[in-house]
A and B are shown apart, each in its own frame.
Chain A
Amino acid sequence: MKPIRRTVIAVLAAGALLASAACGSGFDDDSSDSSEQRSGPVSLQILIGSSGQAETTAVQEAAAKWASSSGNTATVTPAQDLTQQLGQAFAGDSPPDVFYVDAGRFADYASVGALEPYGDKISNPSDFYESLRTTFTYDGKFYCAPKDFSTLGLVVNTALWSKAGLTEADIPTTWDQLTSVSQKIKGSGTVPLALGETRDRIGAFMVQAGGWITSADGKTATADTPENLQALQYVQGLLKNKYAEYPKALDAGWAGEAFGKGKAAMTIEGNWIKGALQADFPNVKYTVHPLPAGPKGQGTLSFTNCWGIAAKSKNKDAAVKFVEAMTTAEQQLTFAKAFGVMPSRQSAGAQFTQQYPSDKAFIDGAAYAQGPVNAPKMDSVLADFDTGLQGLATGDPKALLARLQKNTESALGQ
């Protein structure tokens, strides 16, 4: 038995070596062909991380329109798991030509050279909101055109609000007012605020206090500051007094669900809550307001995707033309109508507010919004911070921030 086993291993090893040698040439990346561009009618592959059927259909229709008017073909594929599928496509050297890039992921892709910095080739780039352009700028280069954006707002359940004896005039505009209305709502037997347990919600308080995790250029860690501490201490106070509850404690997957079920009178969510409530809880009446201002004024968070173009795409010219067509003010308003996003071009803003007056608080947030952390290798650090935030009610905010500071510094290579 022994000798036979040894022979089997030897044969396997030899086979493996042969196979890897044979494959070797196939894996090799021919650098010359990546810059070669095709002319004539091209076939664009577009991979989108769709929010649902409405978005998929809208993008497919827009792409078909562009394809027929330009004589090219465009295939839109909705991804099951965009990050993973893109990762595999980049590793296999066959990325789609155009794809969604999440703002939180943008720096990861840009830092390894996966993205084509085409931002300035799009007409009138300064029409995009300043905060969105900053989000998609890496090493001084504006990489990709923002698709649309969302900001956080304070969503108030009208019925529960009046049940607590509150009126329109009581809508909180400062932290102190938020605390005092929460007290009243809690007195009426309702959970005042459903708050998502991540930096994507609690981070808004940090912005209102004048802090953030990194510096504006994304090169220095600024987590351990008195401003951030003040914000976390305030949120901790809300949690300790049961003025705010995390969604899981309210038996909901996210704060919007808890709000829709009527388990909380207020929540802090983005404009996606509109579609979600319409679909799942059509009878809930609510209003949207700007987030209460902190000690350093108003602050909110923005979330956005951009139309990324692969640096290895063979059809970059056509891809830029495609993105151009997708980001016109007119097309963005069509998307806004189809799946409730907000246009990333300022020139479309006025018309949007006119059509959707109830979303005014969301779009006004663009003026003072903070985008996601714009630095590579930060995802696991931020996930670790989220872990800390999950235990914020009983944790030590100072230690939490010190840990975030240390991890951010090591991720940024400071």
Chain B
Amino acid sequence: MIQRSAWKRWLLGIAVLHGIVACAGFFAPYDPAEQDRERPYLSPMKIHLLDREGHFHFRPFFYEQQLRRGSFDQFEERTQQAIPLRFFVTGARYHLLGLLPSRTHFFGAEESRVYLVGSDAYGRDQLSRILYGGQISLLAGLLGAGLTLAISVLIGATAGYFGGWRDALLMRVAELFGALPWLYLLLALRAFLPLSVSPLQAFFLIILVIGAVGWARPARLVRGVVLSAKERDYVRAARGFGARDVYLLRRHILPETSSVILTQAAILVPQFVLAEMTLSFLGLGVPEPVPSWGSLLASLQQYSVLVSYWWMYLPALAIVPFFLGYLGLASALQQKAGTEKIVRTTSGGRW
């Protein structure tokens, strides 16, 4: 019983993770673009329970950071004043899920800004940027996967159902796309699209590029299912009764592909999130000031940041739980369908 619903548990876990990112406005203490020029590259703050005199406080607190005298990037705690961490505080305006205007944040502090995972070059809160960046990266992954699956179903169904020269042509092209080193293909396609565009345009460009590149394998799987489904007795019978192609495909054949498509979705989404990350990391994705998981890492290409500010690496770790969730979901779905495959998702595609 528990075994049977393994994929549902994974799905629930993924839904919770996505929910947190979708409600970034609530969970993030600040606006991702809000700067604090007094505190660039602030390291993650320590949250205390014991104060200077050794007294225990139930409410966690932190100390405000100030520049150490005579230095320009060393901070020290001002231990005179403990600033308590508060929950459900009122802060920057945001729209929950893009709809509900609100000012309530999950946590924050009233007297000073709190940086749980540090700040970046402009003193922007890293935690807020990670959460908001996740919206961009995950949405790009989800929409890209949707686009790819739509293309795959179209091509796979055409090739499998009509066969003949269409099948031969489409499958040759699929071989071509499937055989190329993925990241090279992705970059080549990105290379010939406009480079300096607004963040929104860049976002859609990326979805387009990612979506156009990965369709080969799912299309082949869909084709296989369609090939076997169209020979079923009930499909033949329906055709004998005069059913049209479109009706047959919609009513009898495409529903058979649903399990393949679900499994492929679970594999494609993390792959495409990573693809977005990689493109943005390389400076070919969504540009500043809009955060995405990839562009948050781009600053690590500067040697000085790499050496001195290790917490700039923390955004990279945000993707790991998502990877775990999707990997678990994919293998649970495959187990359910009895076609377990070992899949590795890398920036270079999957294999």
Q: A and B: real partners? A: no
Chain B residues in the interface with A (C-beta under 8 A): none
Chain A residues in the interface with B (C-beta under 8 A): none
